[in-house]
Structure 1
Amino acid sequence: MIEGGFSKIKPIRAKEIKNRQCSYPSHITELKACRTELKPFIVADTETLLIDNVHKPYAAGLMLFRPGEKFNDIMIEPYFGEDYSIILDSFEEKSSKVLYDFVCRISTIVRQEESCFTIYFHNFSRFDGILLLKHLACHHKNYKLKPLMRNHRLYELSVYSNKKLLFRFRDSLNLLPGKLESLAKNLCPGLGQKGSIPYDEITQSNLEMKKRSLLDYMKQDILLLGGVMQKAQEIYWKVYKVDIESKITLPSLALSIFRMKYYDSSNWPIHIPNKNEDSFIRHTDYGGHTDTYKPYGTDLYFYDVNSLYPFVLKEYPMPGGKPVWHCNLEGMDLDSLFGFIDAYVVCPNTIKKPFLPYRDKNQTLIFPTREFVGVYYSEELKYARDLGYTVLPISGYLFEKMESPFKDFVSSLYESRKEAKKEGNEAMSYVYKILMNSLYGRFCINPKSTITEVCDSNRYKHLIRNSELIFGDLLSENNYIVAYHSNTETGPGFWNPQKNSDVQLAAAITASARIYMYPYISREDSYYTDTDSVVLGSPLPEEEISSTILGKFKFDDRVLKGYFLAPKAYFYTAFDSTNVLKYKGPAKNKVHPEWFELQYADPSRTELVPVKANFLIDWHTLNIIKKDTIVKLGIKLGTKRIPVYHGDAWVDTDPIDIKDLSFLDHFGKEIIKSLRNYVIQLQIENTTLNEKFSIIERGIAER
């Protein structure tokens, strides 16, 4: 069934689309508590076996949790495939029977428990949910399915009968991020540790023999997940009167708490951008800054900022009010502007660590020198100008500059977390931390995304005719899986933004964070940075270091020897002899300390390595498969910065020099000439007489 509902498709007239667009709220509203008591929920788990490199369930289990009720593993209801051997022969039949009876039992429980609708799995989005989506589509044809899936991530799977919600599956990982073992240690340590099983030793032939140990493993996972969810539910209800069962994700939960406890919509209404505003401002949401400057160093200092984004949320001004479009900002004083601006920029090549971001044709985020045009937050343009950039505003959306509406939210949570840590209350400390760090994420949700639906043939035919289709496949009789791009000019329906998405806040937060970090990453002795961390060759002053003060740096590690070869690819040995290795990529299990040494000695070196993807999702068939592939392992040189050599040794990097005025194509050649003439004039005013002639000659040649 479809993401937005499951009625028959009717043609939508332009007038209807216009009316529907106008019906969206103009700003985020305050929220009042609507529940008077907590709701029960179910936790569940599945266990699988690889059959022809496809994961097939051999067991499933569930347990009902009621608020405040004591529980134990006797209450867990397991389903084991080999128990059906008397009536079924093939593993496929037994696997299907496990899930069939599992779903039927859920249906029975939710009928008996009138307020119970939600079933949680840990990692439902990328594993259990895919198994259940396919099973329900193929074996429970009396149900109507409504998957909430964005960008190939299954957030929720709702099951209906005659348009009535029966139950819904959700991912506990979206509410409580982290490994189940760590969560249990923080929230319910009395339930014991997570177990382990030798997956490689499990076969069809020994399932019956290993039944007890396999079910004990699954039961312990269910017990830990239930304990974690029940404890978190109790905490959020006690402190905020919010039931986590009512929310799908942690950012959504954080926003609800903000709206209930801290938001003043009458004095600080948060504007919800329309399509034009969102599309323009989203160009400025560049995210964090990750870069390698020097590839190798000894005796270094690794620092992290205490809660960088919450610090920015608390201390920096934010764009308030309703934006006003200005089509011509030429000649206006940059200091008088506050908002998001399309600007012509020139970065002098004397700046070795440029400040302003830019996305190249491959969508790689770089920080280049020379001449380009882009959309930026006004405050980062002012900062860039003060560093020596030439900045000429062209057009943009201007907002009111207002004190952050998040000051009380961040201050309250941070102080509460410090108090909890002082008292040794790890559960409360964890809750305050994840809440404080999650609010930002709710504002940057992109209305344009990939939507996946399970639908009937009529809906399928409509989508393949009227959407930007990615793929469509038959799952079972009259059941199709379809993926398409949403909120596009040719997409189905009309512009349908997230009701609480506010890209102007997300863009202002990340830009302000880059401003805050720049004095540290631009230092001559800066080796590496990753959004809220920096590796330096000498220590920071004592007054800038604290492990408890928001926004201060905390000393993370003393590096004896370190290799920083690429963003999110580094290895170092600390002074206490511990090794720290980070590598992002499909071949990360093939990377080791010696690899970094070899790669540094020959940065262009590559090797082909076998990689096993044990849980790869085939979206066309909804199978989770194991696939062996060959991957070229190496680092990409010159994509973000240019390597600098001393002899044969790679010792440093330089910024990439670009010239890109394609953003100005719609303005025409005259405005480009005007901008360049102005830049030449500014340069002449700050040069000696001998340099003036060469500047003029270059300007004439460029025209």
Structure 2
Amino acid sequence: MQADKIEIIEPRTARKIKKKMRSYPPGHITAVKQSSTDTEMQPFLVADTETILIDDVHKPYAAGLLKVMPGEDLSSKDKCIETYFSEDYTIILSSFEERSTKVLFDLIERISTIVKKDKSIRTIYFHNFSRFDGIILLKHLACHHKQYRVKPMMRNNKLYELVVFHGKIKLFRFRDSLNILPSNLDNLAKNLCPELGSKGSIPYEDVKLSNLVSMKTRLLDYMKQDILLLGGVMRKAQDLYWNAYKVDIESKITLPSLALTIFRKIYYDPKTFPIHIPNLFEDTFIRRGYYGGHADTYIPYGENLYYYDVNSLYPFIMKTFPMPGGKPKWCGNLEGQDLDGLFGFIEAYVLCPKTIKRPFLPYRDDKNTLLFPTGEFIGVYYSEELKYARSLGYTVIPLSGYLFEKMETPFESFVSSLFESRLKAKESGNDALSYVYKNLMNSLYGRFGINPVTTVTEVCSQDRYNFLIRNSDLIFADQLNEKYYIVSYWSGKGSDYWNPPKISAVQLAAAITACARIYMYPYISREDCYYTDTDSVVLGQPLPEEEIHSSVLGKFKLEHKVKKAIFLAPKSYSLLAEDGVVLKHKGPAKAFISEEWFESQYEDISRTEQVSVEAPFRIDFKKLNITKKEIQVNLGIKVGTKRIPVYSGEDWVDTKPMEITDLSGLNTLGIIMKKSLRAKIMKLLDDNARIHSILAEKEREIEEKNQDG
């Protein structure tokens, strides 16, 4: 019997396992490198719709589109505009509802055909897409194009983008030209493409279903001119930005995003000034110290006044003031720390004495109103405004905070370059280029302060709908049709929902606005300051000549010499100026405002009246309809919400600050520190009283000796 043959197997050498390096997002904003895809501008489409009211709901009766190639001359392109008109379908469709749907259906299918033939075309622009055309198209796509999937980017009830998919393939996207070029189409055309003519007009109130056919030529010509102007405006803007910065506006959704890209690509050096991206805790804390501009009415009536504006206040601050750089360090107990040695965002106990008639530090009340009060309160502030407040007579006790490195501003070259370029453009008469530089310069700072807490609206499937109603901070939810639901919810609230913008740095936005308030305060605090709003002041006496220049960054320019003015509230005033009448009032009833109304309101500040206001383009987000609705509005001024009126007899002559006592923000440590502080203050007061008594006694003794002598 043969012995079993033993097979010897060579041992295998174990394969080395390469350790994969996990990639983490950078803790700071990175610079943008020139991409190989950034070699040419992309073509795009521009489009428009026209509507009539059917049962107070806007329904499209016409639509059109135009293909725009980079650098193309559009002066003869009006014949290339494709149009769709509802009444052309009367042979096959009997109801207007069906014909209106057909207009949009054919528009969408035509766009789909164009982008499939030319894959370089991805974007279709409407002017005011976010608040009008986009709402109509979103509902239409969800209800009538089941082969497509839609993904709207809707934040805080504003539709920024609407992307259309076929399966998993992205076909095209709708965007709002207004988010890149924030002005009305007529003004944009005059600045950017005057050779294409001006915007036309039609009597909207006369356009009815019954006369659409007879008005067809006029209506379509009006729409085609709008489309042509939009194409010209966007093409010119695309050329300007590309030639100056090699950035294609077609790749960006908003102007602040465009400004940030240009800054990161050309001016930003992360080695010199790394801009830190805050985490949840840092962002939440610092955002408490991100306040807006200072707006207040001080004296309600005046004559022979001077209305001044600062030339580009925020860009001036960005260029001039040091900024918080590096990674912040948390300090949970700042008791005993010298405020002068701190730089960053500090939670502090603040005491503003009643003797300060125009308080400096802001305070946000439970109604989210920004006040500038006296009293004692807790708040988060930029260290530099706390130091400035202390110099005015405030008591400031630091409690805790995030400390940054004090660094030279990273924005000096960005602002200087754009401001100088704008001046050259204005001098050469190039209003279009001047407009571009101005918008860029003023759009950057706000992008850093973008808020991660927003409302999000989705059009989604039933599975997604079921998930959202169970797991989100719901605002509303409704069914659009058998396939789609609409859901609105809060995003960014709490650690479970933390999904901030990829590039944000609230510390910069907060520092810029704080330094702007510091810069404006010497003018606001003048006894002859009647009114202020962020970058403007109305004074009783003129400023010195050396502080005035119409083209120097940070200097004042005289906007109006005012013969007579009434200031009822922030953003509600009338000016009888040498160059005409200026009326301003915030709210839906502003069409009812007149000089006479301001006079009557000033005589009786508590006066209110109810008026009927027509809201012609009201959005019903639950049904995705644009409606016309008449609403009742109380026309008047809320008295005493920011400052308290002061009367002489029955006449309103002045205001005084509100007084606040709010220590609810104190934690246990803060309460201990506050008690310790009060004990120290009481001891100082006792010591002061004792010293005063001793001095008084000594004075009496000296006086008695002098009398005896």
Global fold match (TM > 0.5): yes
How far 1:70 sits from its partner (Å)?
2.3
Once the 2 structures are TM-superposed, how far is the Cα of residue 370 of structure 1 from its aligned partner?
Answer: 1.1
In structure 2, distance between residues paired with 1:685 and 1:39: 76
Indicate whether 1:327 and 2:328 are aligned: no
Which residue of 195, 199, 213 corresponds with 1:194? 199
Alpha-carbon distance in structure 2 between the residues aligned to 1:670 and 1:266 = 42
Q: Does 2:383 match 1:378?
A: yes
Per-residue CA deviation, residues 61-91 of structure 1 (Å, 9 max, x unaligned), is 1000011122320010011101101111111
**1:551 and 1:678 mapped to 2: Cα distance?**
42
C-alpha deviation, 1:684, in angstroms:
6.3
Distance in 2 (CA, whole Å) between partners of 1:166 and 1:548 is 46
Asked whether 1:138 is paired with 2:138, we answer no
Read off the aligned partner of 2:181 and give its amino acid letter.
L
Residue 393 of structure 2 corresponds to residue 388 of structure 1 = yes
Q: Which amino acid aligns with 1:637?
A: V
Residue 31 of structure 1 corresponds to 32
Alignment length (residue pairs): 669
Distance 1:210 1:543, change over 3 A: same
* Preserved contact between residue 388 and residue 518 of structure 2 (Cα < 8 Å): yes
For the Cα contact (< 8 Å) 2:286–2:380, is it kept in 1?
yes
Match of 2:12 in 1: none
Go from structure 1 to structure 2 and tell me whether the alpha carbon gap of 1:142 and 1:678 turns closer, same or farther (over 3 Å shift): farther
- Counterpart in 1 of 2:530? 527
Aligned CA distance change for structure 1 residues 89 and 666 (closer, same or farther; 3 Å):
farther
Residue 170 and residue 277 in structure 1: after superposition, are their counterparts in 2 closer, same or farther (change >3 A)? same
Which has the greater radius of gyration?
A: 2
TM-fit CA distance, 1:163: 1.3
Q: SS at the partner of 1:69?
A: coil
Corresponding position of 1:701:
none
Q: Within 2, Cα distance between the matches of 1:686 and 1:432? A: 59
Q: Which residue pairs with 1:119 in the alignment?
A: 124
Partner residue in 2 for 1:66: 69
Q: 137-146 or 387-396: which moved more?
A: 137-146
Deviation at 1:671, TM superposition (A): 3.0
Alpha carbons of structure 1 residues 286 and 646: separation in structure 2 relative to 1, 3 Å:
same
1:112 positional shift: 1.2
CA distance change for structure 1 residues 687 and 368 in 2, over 3 Å: closer, same or farther? farther
Give 3-state SS (helix, strand or coil) of 1:281's partner.
helix
Task: Kindly provide the CA deviation profile for residues 213-233 of structure 1, in whole angstroms up to 9, marking residues without a partner as x.
Answer: 100110010000000000000
Residue 142 of structure 1: how far off its partner (Å) = 1.3
- Residue of 603, 608, 620 corresponding to 1:606: 608
Paired AA for residue 277 in structure 1: E
For residues 679 and 542 of structure 2, the distance between their equivalents in structure 1, rounded to whole angstroms, comes to 44
Q: Secondary structure at the match of 1:27?
A: coil
Q: Distance in 1 between matches of 2:684 and 2:198?
A: 67
Q: What secondary structure is seen at the aligned counterpart in 2 of 1:256? A: helix
* Equivalent position of 2:660 in the other structure: 658
Structure 1 residue identity aligned to 2:612: P
CA contact (8 A) 2:335 2:673 kept: no
Query: C-alpha separation between the residues in 2 aligned to 1:500 and 1:375?
Result: 23
Query: Could you tell me how far 1:592 is from its partner in structure 2?
Result: 1.0
Query: Displacement, 1:682?
Result: 5.9
After TM superposition, the structure 1 = structure 2 runs for residues 178-327 of structure 1, keeping only pairs within 5 Å, are 178-327=183-332
1:156-195 CA-to-partner distances (Å, cap 9, x unmatched) read 0001112111000000000001010001111111111101
User: In the alignment, which residue of structure 2 is the partner of 1:162?
Assistant: 167
1:515 matches 2:518? yes
Structure 2 counterpart of 1:616, one-letter code: R
The code of the aligned residue for 1:496 comes to: N
State the Cα distance separating 1:497 from its structure 2 match: 1.1
Deviations, residues 110-158 of structure 1 (Å, cap 9, x unaligned): 1111100000000000000000000000001111111111111100000
Shift of 1:326: 0.1
Q: Which residue of 1 aligns with 2:91?
A: 86
TM superposition score normalised by structure 1: 0.93
Q: Write the distance in 1 (CA, Å) between the matches of 2:196 and 2:389.
A: 54
Select which of 597, 616, 619 maps to 2:618: 616
Q: Deviations over 1:320-373 (max 9, x none)?
A: 000000000011000000000000000000000000000111111000001111
- Counterpart of 2:649 in structure 1 is 647
Q: Which residue is 2:439 aligned to?
A: 434
1:343-358 map, 5 Å: 343-358=348-363
* Distance of aligned partners of 1:691 and 1:521 in 2 relative to their CA distance in 1, 3 Å threshold: farther
Contact 1:614 1:626 in 2 (8 A): yes
Q: Indicate whether 1:42 and 2:49 are aligned.
A: no
Aligned to 1:481: 486
For 2:494 and 2:46, the matched residues in 1 are separated by 41
**Partners of 1:384 and 1:679 in 2: CA distance:** 19
Q: Match of 1:564, as an amino acid? A: F
- Measured in 2, the distance between the counterparts of 1:682 and 1:368 equals 26
Question: 1 CA distance for matches of 2:98 and 2:682?
Answer: 77
Q: Is the 8 A contact 2:363 2:372 kept in 1?
A: yes
Q: CA separation of 1:504/1:217 partners in 2, compared to 1, >3 Å: closer, same or farther?
A: same
Partner residue in 2 for 1:699: none
Alignment check: 8 A CA contact 1:380 1:512 kept? yes
Measured at CA, do residues 602 and 241 of structure 1 come closer, stay the same or move farther in structure 2, by a change above 3 Å?
Answer: same
CA shift for structure 1 position 456: 0.3
Secondary structure at the aligned position of 2:380 is classed as strand
Whole-angstrom distance in 2 between the partners of 1:38 and 1:668: 57
| Aligned CA distance change for structure 1 residues 686 and 604 (closer, same or farther; 3 Å) | farther
Opposite residue 153 of structure 1, the aligned amino acid is K
* Aligned counterpart in structure 1 of residue 152 of structure 2, from 137, 147, 151: 147
* Residues 558 and 574, structure 1, Cα contact 8 Å, conserved in 2: yes
Shift of 1:490: 7.6
Residue 583 of structure 2 aligns to which amino acid in structure 1?
A: L
Which range moved further: 636-645 or 29-38?
29-38
Q: Percent identity?
A: 67
Q: Give the secondary-structure state (helix, strand or coil) at the position aligned to 1:663.
A: coil
Among 543, 568, 573, which residue is 1:570 paired with?
A: 573
Residue 602 of structure 2 aligns with an amino acid whose one-letter code is Y
CA contact (8 A) 2:399 2:670 kept: no
Residues 78/574 of structure 1: CA separation in 2 closer, same or farther (3 Å cut): same
Partner residue of 1:397 out of 390, 397, 402: 402
Deviation at 1:488, TM superposition (A): 2.1
Which runs of no fewer than 5 residues in structure 1 stay unpaired?
1-20, 693-703
Q: Which moved more, 1:394-403 or 1:28-37?
A: 28-37
| 2:359–2:372 CA contact under 8 A, matched in 1 | yes
Task: Name the CA distance, whole Å, in 2 between partners of 1:391 and 1:484.
Answer: 39
Report the more deviating stretch, 37-46 or 673-682.
673-682
1:674 to partner: Cα distance:
1.6
Give, in whole Å, the separation in 1 of the partners of 2:690 and 2:317. 42
Show the counterpart of 1:632.
634
Equivalent runs, 1:408-419 vs 2, <5 Å: 408-419=413-424
- Matched with 1:422 is 427
Specify the SS of the correspondent of 1:664: coil
Write out per-residue CA displacement over residues 193-213 of structure 1, whole angstroms, 9 at most, x where no aligned residue.
101110111110000100011
Q: Which runs of 5+ in 2 are unaligned?
A: 1-21, 695-709
Deviations 1:87-109 (A, max 9, x none): 11111101100000000000011
Amino acid at match of 1:614: P
Query: Contact conserved, 2:280 with 2:495, CA < 8 A, in 1?
Result: no
Distance 1:349 1:111, change over 3 A: same
Among residues 673, 676, 679, which one is paired with 1:674 in the alignment? Answer: 676
TM-score under structure 2 normalisation? 0.93
